[in-house]
Structure 1
Amino acid sequence: MKAWRVEELGHPSESMVLRDDVADPVPGPGQVHIRVDAGNVNFADILLCQGVYQDRPGVPFTPGLETCGTVLAVGEGVDVPLGVRVGGMAALPAGGYAEQALVRAHTALVMPEDIPAVDATVLYSTFQTSHVGLHHRARLQAGEWLLVHGAAAGVGAAAVQLGVAAGAKVIATAGGPEKCAHVRALGAHHVLDHRSDDVYAAVQDLTGGHGVDVAYDPVGGDLGDLTRRLMAWEGRLVVVGFASGRIPNHPANHVLVKNYAVVGLHWGAYVEHAGRAVIEAAHDDLLRLYRSGSIRSDVTGTVPLEGVPDALAALEARAVTGRLVVTP
């Protein structure tokens, strides 16, 4: 089969090699063998190729941590039916940037056939992350103020839509006029350009000095530092990631004085450490919201298998608005 291989750790532009003679993967116990229909272009895969992600498979391996496809075979102890479409986390070293891949069975969720594969793969991880973050971790309520950073793409864009669907008052930040326009189209009530707007002053003005009840932060850095100053009494600040490249500072004394909570969100850890109940509940609600038209996948481009390195480079350069999906 055709697959991208990392044969030496390094930046994807240098470490990834496209091979057409890779053996078809064989599922072991607890694994599902799929024909890949679609897969997410993720920043985590850039880290994976460099050997600095939390999962560190030995070389050679195929990257592509989140994938969606049709079940061809299953390993011992797996009861997923053949022929259904599933989304799941790749069982490395047989990742999703390939024509076929292996998925960890305990992460697999059946994706109904009425949902296109490119939408299904985004609902699986991107929307799952934001749903669990907003509803399970932050307990977002209708009428609350929600601040979303990195709102033009990925989990931020998903959080905007989910916040609006939940009846929250959504303030979103993005960088540049084009991205801000995209966020407005997603339904955010207020959009701030963090490159040119005074985010602190604007949020204080919009909320009448109340601050935000929930902040959803996949960016960190300077925006992350600023966000703690905007937290309302008994607010919840959800730490999702550090796309800026810097971990923000959230001093414990500030948390104490303002009585807000800082909660972490590592979505993938739920299936590893907390069973499937949380992600299955989110899955059911996401399917309902998608079918009702309350959310959309926000896929703005698809790329063939050959285009993976260029897509990762665009993502790293913050040149992506919306979501890119690989379709082998």
Structure 2
Amino acid sequence: MRGWQLATNGDPADVLVLDDLVDPAPNEHEVLISVEATNVNFADILQCQGKYQEKPELPFTPGVETCGIVVDAGSSGVCRVGDRVVGMTSSGAGGYAELALLASRSVLVIPPEVSADVATVLFTTYQTSHVALHHRAALQAGETLLVHGASGGVGSSAVQLGAAAGAIVIATAGGADKCAYVASLGAHHVIDTHSEDVYETVMELTGGSGVDVAYDAVGGELGDLTRRLMAWEGRLLIIGFAAGGVPQYPANHALVKNYSIIGLYWGSYLTPERRHV
């Protein structure tokens, strides 16, 4: 098969090579698919750089979210040969190739009316935001939701789902083009991090009370700032660290303001019960 592979860590443009590769062989916990569509995920960049929490053994093919036709269904019973499925890849045999391996525990059969590209895009980003906002943070209509990195994959999904739930969505993004895009998704207020003071603007928009729910997939300095923007009994969702830095939250600050710090790694919900998948 043809596919992209890297033998050393680095930026994707520097280390990925298109080559003839050996067809992957599934084990009892994997499903082999013929790839139809693969998402471009920030996790793929981090894996190439060797900075992601899950580090495939080199050499490997990236592409963590992939959709395709089942070639070998294995023994898990989650699908059959010929099914169109979407899932998370396994064993370093990702979706940037003609064939890929999916972890059986992650596989979902796609309804015929859903296209491959839509299924792949929806798989992690929207389910992450749905579980984060509704299961972990119990977002309610009328509450104020702050979304950082709102022009990105998970951020944009959080804006849409938050607005659909009746929340007042305040979003941050960098630059006029990204801000215009975020506004088109339904954000009520968009803050340009390149030209506006995030703290002052959020506090002005909320009358000084802060936000009920914060959705932070950025981390870094913006993540450090977010704790100061939490309302009484607010919920701060930790989604990721796109900026690279991992914020440190003083426990005494959460104590005196009575807000909760809530982690969310959606992949952990890919259990046989799939209660939130």
- Give the superposition deviation at 1:26: 2.2
Q: What corresponds to 2:5 in structure 1?
A: 5
Aligned to 1:31: 30
Which residue of the partner structure matches residue 308 of structure 1?
A: none
Q: Is 2:76 the counterpart of 1:85?
A: no
Q: CA deviation at 1:275?
A: 4.1
The equivalent residue for 1:16 is 16
User: What residue in structure 2 maps to residue 178 of structure 1?
Assistant: 177
Q: 1:27 to 1:237 in 2, by over 3 A?
A: same
State the alpha-carbon separation in 2 of the partners of residues 153 and 50 from structure 1.
Answer: 19
SS at match of 1:178: helix
Deviation string, structure 1 residues 233-288 (Cα, Å, up to 9, x no partner): 1100001111112112311000000000001111112215x841111xxxxxxxxx
- For the 8 Å contact 1:29–1:78, the answer to whether it is kept is no
Residue in structure 1 matched with residue 275 of structure 2 by the alignment: 277
Separation of aligned partners in 2, 1:189 and 1:133: 20
1:203 match: 202
Partner of 1:260: 259
- Name stretches of at least 5 consecutive residues in structure 1 with no aligned partner: 280-328
Distance in 2 of aligned mates of 1:25 and 1:275? 28
Would you identify which runs of 4 or more consecutive aligned residues in structure 1 move more than 6 Å? none
Spell out, residue by residue over 1:290-313, the C-alpha distance to the aligned partner (whole angstroms, 9 max, x if none): xxxxxxxxxxxxxxxxxxxxxxxx
Contact 1:62 1:92 (8 Å CA) reproduced = no
1:196 and 1:9 mapped to 2: Cα distance? Answer: 34
The within-5 A match list for 1:249-328 is 249-271=248-270, 275-279=273-277
Work out whether 1:188 is the aligned partner of 2:187: yes
Aligned counterpart, 2:69: 70
Counterparts in 2 of 1:117 and 1:77: CA distance versus 1, 3 Å: closer
Distance 1:140 1:236 in 2: 9
1:192 partner amino acid: I
Distance 1:202 1:60 in 2: 46
The DSSP-based 3-state class of the residue aligned with 2:276 is: helix
TM-score by length of 1: 0.81
Q: Is the aligned partner of 1:123 residue 2:127? A: no
CA distance in 2, matches of 1:35, 1:193: 41
Distance, in Å, in 2 between the alignment partners of 1:35 and 1:192 is 42
Query: Is the 8 Å Cα contact of residues 66 and 89 (structure 1) preserved in structure 2?
Result: yes
Higher helix proportion: 1
SS at match of 1:173: strand
Segments of 5+ residues of structure 2 without an aligned counterpart are: none
Contact kept? 1:129, 1:267, Cα under 8 Å: yes
- Asked if the contact 1:35–1:71 (Cα under 8 Å) also holds between the matched residues in 2, the reply is yes
> 1:6 deviation in Å?
1.4
Q: What does the per-residue CA deviation read over 1:92-124, in whole Å, with 9 as the maximum and x for residues that have no partner?
A: 221111111010111111221212211111111
The separation in 2 between residues aligned to 1:238 and 1:275, in whole angstroms, is 24
Q: Helix, strand or coil: the match of 1:233?
A: strand
Distance across 2 between alignment mates of 1:187 and 1:178: 15
Query: Residue deviations 1:14-43, cap 9 Å, x none?
Result: 321111x22222221021111111111122
